[in-house]
Amino acid sequence: MQRGTTSVVPKFAENERGGFSPCTLKLFLAAIFLSVAALSAAAQSTPAKVPAPPPAQTPAPTPQQPKGQVIFSRSTDENGETTTQVGPAATTPAIQMASEPTAQDAERQALTFTAYDMDVHLRTAEQHIAVRALVTVRNDGKSPLAHIPLQISSSLNWERIRIAGKDVPFPVATLNSDTDHTGQLHEAAITLAQPLAPGATLSLDVTYSGAIAPSAQRLESIGTPNDLALHSDWDRIGVPFTGLRGFGNVVWYPVSSLPIILGDGARLFDEIGRQKLHLYGTRFRLRLSAEFPHGKPPTVAVINGHPAKLAITESGTLDENQEVPGVATADTGATLLGFETPSLFLAIRTAHPGDNLTAYTLPEDEVSVDFFTAAATAVKPFIEDWLGPKPRTPLTLLDLPDPQDAPFETGALLAIPLHDAPADQLQGALVHSLTRAWLTPSDGSQPPPAWLDEGAASFMGTLWTEKQHGRTQALGVLEAARPALALAEPPSPGESAGQPLPQAISPVYYRTKAAYVLWMLRDLAGDPALSAALRSWIPADPASFEKLLQSGANQTGPGKYLSWFFADWVDADKGLPDLSIDGFFPAPNTAGNWLAAVSVSNNGYAAAEVPVTVQSDATSVTQRLLVPARGKAVQRILIQGKPTQAQVNDGTVPESQATIHITTLEQPASDTSSSSSQSTPPQP
């Protein structure tokens, strides 16, 4: 399928479904355990072989945009209150379709949305959405902005944009961009009479509408079979199920983004991350009204990962030939966005309350939900031991329409086909999702930053693996993702600023590196201190996590300072350490004891505290050693019996090369021991 063509996409079977698919479970587990990080790494190291896409700035042909009808009429009364009415309004201004984009990439990157106040009206039977939104944007660039670029899915049409109560003209261009499932965006570019200065904000009143049906267009264009593509791009509006996952899947709210094509390395994932980072802390309110056929009211609404209370009005029928649709309404109230894409779900499902969760299922999955609730009950003591007695927000499980549909997770929501599966697999997956529920506030306050949200969920998943299968297997999970991290990290801080964790946009940083960071903090501060910090951190105070950890570490022993660690591993990205054993020198002591000196060098730009283990035939002793960046350090260990082996690092500290270093002493025929690494012992 070529860009710019219109395709008729078959709808999913929404009422008939088969049994559990192992493929779905594999997709789910991959999504939970660092799948995006692995995919990002694969894209960085070996880009997929796809047909060469057209230039992102060159629009594909598009049919003439149909004239829209204003659905919402919003005004400000004499008391300064904003009022909104639903119904026909004045004729909208004519929309000019541009032959090429007006805005430039620099303008798209400079624009940040600081507030969304949205009225969303759905006609589910017609797969239709109409939106009236007040949005506030800020110029985060270094130069004044002459244009304000606003983008929505190519399945939606711009109708009106107003500034200070006055209509403004704007051309609409079609951009090729795989940030939407259609593979294209409609970009309105407003030319400002007075350029927007750096740091200045601007409020816009925008109206748009259109139909959102399942579309496999972007994936089919790179050769993905239609059915497989639709199980990945399942976003749609419908009576039994509406699912709009947001930027990266379907752009149902205004954004300003760089046009990105699938197969262009990791740029798509990075652009999704950039959008999430820019929206962190954005004020958000959504008022929803949804029309539904008589007798088919929705039973659950989830907005940005939080259930929203539905008010249902059934209108009945006028006569046997004409139905008046019912209306369901909901209001999020004032909230703050986390590191997320705004999402909207509305569905007909049956609620099954469980321990710290509620599962919303299709009728055919009501038996299978017991497997999920049982798994949640099994992991509950583990979660409570680490994160406290109750989640900040109960987990919502939402049954997807088809058993093959790819899972989606945001905040305290996990949308997944709810089928039975092996208990150990469900338990591991629910540890990840329940961790996010424990950390996600329910009162609309500031959610956790990505590296504490996604990173803690991945960290807790590896701890569960350690609990169930041992430390070696848990570290194997970390090691599987480390090569991607090593590939992404800059060789030196001078070559690239990298991605400090608070500003990270790539999953390989805010998931993989963050999980490693929490493992290292576990060793530095201890389990009790890390557990207390995860329970008590204050999102509004970015330094609170470090302060809590430092306080807990001080209780375990004097002089345990963590400032160096946060400086090298969290607040800045100095790459990964590159350790090696320079020498291993044992010397006999007294009473059968030996004193072994292990010299370690670090060719990287990040300091690291690593375990150093010396082993003899009788025993082994482990002590920790701080190795400075671009420096060396020596650890002396007293051990019973003649030392035979020294090991530096055990896989808990990620390195640019190997993460376990072992030196074994040669055992010559004579009684004289020698080291395979170095013949001269280090000087004190």
> Any idea what DSSP says for residue 17?
-
Lowest average pLDDT, out of 397-401, 447-451, 626-630, 676-680, goes to: 676-680
- Per-residue model confidence as pLDDT tens digits over 587-621: 999 888 999 999 999 999 999 999 999 999 999 99
Residue 235 in contact with residue 247, Cβ under 8 Å?
no
677 found inside a domain: no
Within this chain, do residues 172 and 279 fall inside the same structural domain, yes or no?
yes
pLDDT top residue among 18 and 661: 661
- Report pLDDT for 482: 96
Q: In angstroms, rounded to a whole number, what is the distance separating the alpha carbons of residues 610 and 524?
A: 10
65 found inside a domain: no
- CA dihedral defined by 612, 615, 618, 620, rounded to 10 degrees? 20
Any idea what the CATH number is for the domain that residue 615 is in? 2.60.40.10
Any idea what the CATH number is for the domain that residue 490 is in? 1.10.390.10
Within this chain, do residues 311 and 438 fall inside the same structural domain, yes or no?
no
Q: Six-digit token pair at 223? A: 């050769």
> Residue 13's CB: how many other CB atoms inside 10 A?
10
Within this chain, do residues 410 and 300 fall inside the same structural domain, yes or no?
no
Q: Six-digit token pair at 484? A: 């991607």
Within this chain, do residues 644 and 561 fall inside the same structural domain, yes or no?
no
Contacts by 384-387 with C-beta closer than 8 Å and gap 24+?
A: 385/531, 386/460, 386/463, 386/531, 386/534, 387/435, 387/438, 387/439, 387/460, 387/531, 387/534, 387/535
SS3 of the chain: helix, strand, coil, percent, to 5: 25, 30, 40
Domain count, the chain: 3
- Report pLDDT for 314: 86
Within this chain, do residues 343 and 373 fall inside the same structural domain, yes or no?
no
Within this chain, do residues 406 and 484 fall inside the same structural domain, yes or no?
yes
159 found inside a domain: yes
Indicate whether 284 pLDDT > 50: yes
Within this chain, do residues 114 and 183 fall inside the same structural domain, yes or no?
yes
Within this chain, do residues 586 and 646 fall inside the same structural domain, yes or no?
yes
Last residue of a domain, one of 575, 601, 624: 575
- Our CA angle for 595, 598, 601, nearest 5°, is 160
- Report pLDDT for 384: 97
Instruction: Report residue 38's pLDDT band, with 50, 70 and 90 as the boundaries.
Output: very low
Instruction: Report residue 663's pLDDT band, with 50, 70 and 90 as the boundaries.
Output: very high
Last residue of a domain, one of 547, 575, 603: 575
- Report pLDDT for 674: 36
Within this chain, do residues 324 and 365 fall inside the same structural domain, yes or no?
no
- Per-residue model confidence as pLDDT tens digits over 516-536: 999 999 999 999 999 999 999
> Residue 277's CB: how many other CB atoms inside 10 A?
19
Within this chain, do residues 221 and 337 fall inside the same structural domain, yes or no?
yes
pTM for this model (two decimals): 0.84
Within this chain, do residues 476 and 598 fall inside the same structural domain, yes or no?
no
Q: In angstroms, rounded to a whole number, what is the distance separating the alpha carbons of residues 611 and 622?
A: 6
Q: Six-digit token pair at 401? A: 């329409």
Q: Six-digit token pair at 663? A: 């030196």
Within this chain, do residues 407 and 321 fall inside the same structural domain, yes or no?
no
SS3 644: strand
User: Hey, CA dihedral for 407, 413, 417, 420, is it positive or negative?
Assistant: positive
SS3 577: coil
6 found inside a domain: no
| Host domain of residue 523 | 16-46+361-575
* Average pLDDT in the chain: 85
539 found inside a domain: yes
